[in-house]
């Protein structure tokens, strides 16, 4: 059961009452919200250059400085072209090993007492992200840096700063310093290893270090961007998917049967992942119902017009995967969990940009393929080894940096007797 008590529920009411274009009027925060496939195309493709990502005073810009997520224009596209190499399919095959390894490492500590899978999955995705993108084991740092990472996430989450720009942020400066020190240390160590020929540039950090234009500061900005954008989103996706499987035993049984048929007890590989068609539909349905990035933000650089509505320069414009994914004209019974919406027959008639969990256009999520493989690998590994039981079926939509099940997903994970 989902309790709807977030701002998203309020936005959904506005959308149902006012249509696909409406304005929120709060003191100091009055964005225009655009909803639906046409709106998404307008924001993500046709007006991409006139709708800028960067808002200088937003906490995310202050934190990520010149990270890929918060820059615009030609420099964005150039930087992205450098970073693409780390997300190529041939790289993904190698990342699967780390995904399996850290899923096993975290789950090895579990007994049969209930645990919050949101927190457990966050550990896994953080370890996986650091190992795959920076070729470093984060386990020894986890205890020390975990609170700092959570503090940075709280800093950029929607909150009072939307209305009061300089709201006090206790603990933030120290957390940022701790994470920065760690990242700069990694940069220095790796630079030396590459210079001395002890290492290969076969990960994101290596790619950035061997790109001539990249200073240490700029590399730190990309590393922190990946750390934030690449683990909190995957955490939300996996937590929601586990929750949905816990709520829908028939889907759970079907996924378990598929995993048994495709893999049995074999160690997951990239090739296996392509065969898990039903699991893919479940993941897509989870992304539809609870897109981790539920709202995207832009600022109009010039006066614009959308479907007869004027959007003056300087207006904050929001597009919303969450609201688009709940439009009944494209998604009949939109609040119902139904993975069959993603069979090829049902997918074909839907217009482009009606399903946008990873955004779209030239700023589409750079980690989309990585995230989809990671979600499958972690779920497969858990289902191979555990029986999952949802203990606390009541959750609410929590709008942190991502849309999370609040207060968490309490599950009992019973290890299968024959799969130690």
Q: Using the rule CB under 6 A, give the single segment among 150-158, 194-202, 271-279, 357-365 that binds ligand HEM.
A: 357-365
- Residue position matching structure tokens 């200073």: 215
Q: Which of 37, 59, 268, 296 binds ligand HEM (CB under 6 A)?
A: 296
Closest distance to ligand HEM from the beta carbon of 376 (Å)? 11
Closest distance to ligand HEM from the beta carbon of 6 (Å)? 18
Counting contacts by CB under 6 A, is residue 400 touching ligand HEM?
no
Q: Using the rule CB under 6 A, give the single segment among 115-123, 231-239, 345-353, 393-401 that binds ligand HEM.
A: 231-239
Q: Which is nearer to ligand HEM, 205 or 237 (CB)?
A: 237
Q: Using the rule CB under 6 A, give the single segment among 107-115, 191-199, 228-236, 253-261 that binds ligand HEM.
A: 228-236
Closest distance to ligand HEM from the beta carbon of 142 (Å)? 18
Q: Using the rule CB under 6 A, give the single segment among 20-28, 181-189, 213-221, 351-359 that binds ligand HEM.
A: 351-359
Q: Which two tokens stand for residue 249?
A: 């035993």
Q: Which is nearer to ligand HEM, 255 or 283 (CB)?
A: 283
Q: Which of 371, 379, 380, 395 binds ligand HEM (CB under 6 A)?
A: 371
Closest distance to ligand HEM from the beta carbon of 261 (Å)? 25
Q: Which of 31, 36, 246, 292 binds ligand HEM (CB under 6 A)?
A: 292
Closest distance to ligand HEM from the beta carbon of 367 (Å)? 2
Question: Which residue number places its CB atom closest to ligand HEM?
Answer: 367
Counting contacts by CB under 6 A, is residue 415 touching ligand HEM?
no
Counting contacts by CB under 6 A, is residue 357 touching ligand HEM?
yes
Site string for ligand HEM, 29-68 (x = CB under 6 A): ---------------------------------------x
The full 3-state SS of the chain, as one line of letters, equals CEECCCHHHHHHHHHHHHCCEEECCECCECCEEECCHHHHHHHHHHCCCCEECCCCCCHHHHHHCCCHHHCCHHHHHHHHHHHHHHHCHHHHHHHHHHHHHHHHHHHCCCCCCCEEHHHHHHHHHHHHHHHHHHCCCCHHHHHHHHHHHHHHHHHHCCCHHHCCCCCCCCCHHHHHHHHHHHHHHHHHHHHHHHHCCCCCCCCHHHHHHCCCCCCHHHHHHHHHHHHHHHHHHHHHHHHHHHHHHHHCHHHHHHHHHHHHHHCCCCCCCHHHHHHCHHHHHHHHHHHHHCCCCCCEEEEECCCEEECCEEECCCCEEEECHHHHCCCCCCCCCCCCCCHHHHCHHHHCCCCCCCCCCCCCHHHCCCCHHHHHHHHHHHHHHHHHHEEEEECCCCEEEEECCCEEEECCCEEEEEECCCCC
Q: Which is nearer to ligand HEM, 84 or 253 (CB)?
A: 84
Closest distance to ligand HEM from the beta carbon of 260 (Å)? 25
Name the site residues for ligand HEM (rule: CB under 6 A): 68-69, 80, 225-226, 229-230, 233-234, 237, 292-293, 296, 357-359, 363, 365-367, 370-371
């Amino acid at each position: 059961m989902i309790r709807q008590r977030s701002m998203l529920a309020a936005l959904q009411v506005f959308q149902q009452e006012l249509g696909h274009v409406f304005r929120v009027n709060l003191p100091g925060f009055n964005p225009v919200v655009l909803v639906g496939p046409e709106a998404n195309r307008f924001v993500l493709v046709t007006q991409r250059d006139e709708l800028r990502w960067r808002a200088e005073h937003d906490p995310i810009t202050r934190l990520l400085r010149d990270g890929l997520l918060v820059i615009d224009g030609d420099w964005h596209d150039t930087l992205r072209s450098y970073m693409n190499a780390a997300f190529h399919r041939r790289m993904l095959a190698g990342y699967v090993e780390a995904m399996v390894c850290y899923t096993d490492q975290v789950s090895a500590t579990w007994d049969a007492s209930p645990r919050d899978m949101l927190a457990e999955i966050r550990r896994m995705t953080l370890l996986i992200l650091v190992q795959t993108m920076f070729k470093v084991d984060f386990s020894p740092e986890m205890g020390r840096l975990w609170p700092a990472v959570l503090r940075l996430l709280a800093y950029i989450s929607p909150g009072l700063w939307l209305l009061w720009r300089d709201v006090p942020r206790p603990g933030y400066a120290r957390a940022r310093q701790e994470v920065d020190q760690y990242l700069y240390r990694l940069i220095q160590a790796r630079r030396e290893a590459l210079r001395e020929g002890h290492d290969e540039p076969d990960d994101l950090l290596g790619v950035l270090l061997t790109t001539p234009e990249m200073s240490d500061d700029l590399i730190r900005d990309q590393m922190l961007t990946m750390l934030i954008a690449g683990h909190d989103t995957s955490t939300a996706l996996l937590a929601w998917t586990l929750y949905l499987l816990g709520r829908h035993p028939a889907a759970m049984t079907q996924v378990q049967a598929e995993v048994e048929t495709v893999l049995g007890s074999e160690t997951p590989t990239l090739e296996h992942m392509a065969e898990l068609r039903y699991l893919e539909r479940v993941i897509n349905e989870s992304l539809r119902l609870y897109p981790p990035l539920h709202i995207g933000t832009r600022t109009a650089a010039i006066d614009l017009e959308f479907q007869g509505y004027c959007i003056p320069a300087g207006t904050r414009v929001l597009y919303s995967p969450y609201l688009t994914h709940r439009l009944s004209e494209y998604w009949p019974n939109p609040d119902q969990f139904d993975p069959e919406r993603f069979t090829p027959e049902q997918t074909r008639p839907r217009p482009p940009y009606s399903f946008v969990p990873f955004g779209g256009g030239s700023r589409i999520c750079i980690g989309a393929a990585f995230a989809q493989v990671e979600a499958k690998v972690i779920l497969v590994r858990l289902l191979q080894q555990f029986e999952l039981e949802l203990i606390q079926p009541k959750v609410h939509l929590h709008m942190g940096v991502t849309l999370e099940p609040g207060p968490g997903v309490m599950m009992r994970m019973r290890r299968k007797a024959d799969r130690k």
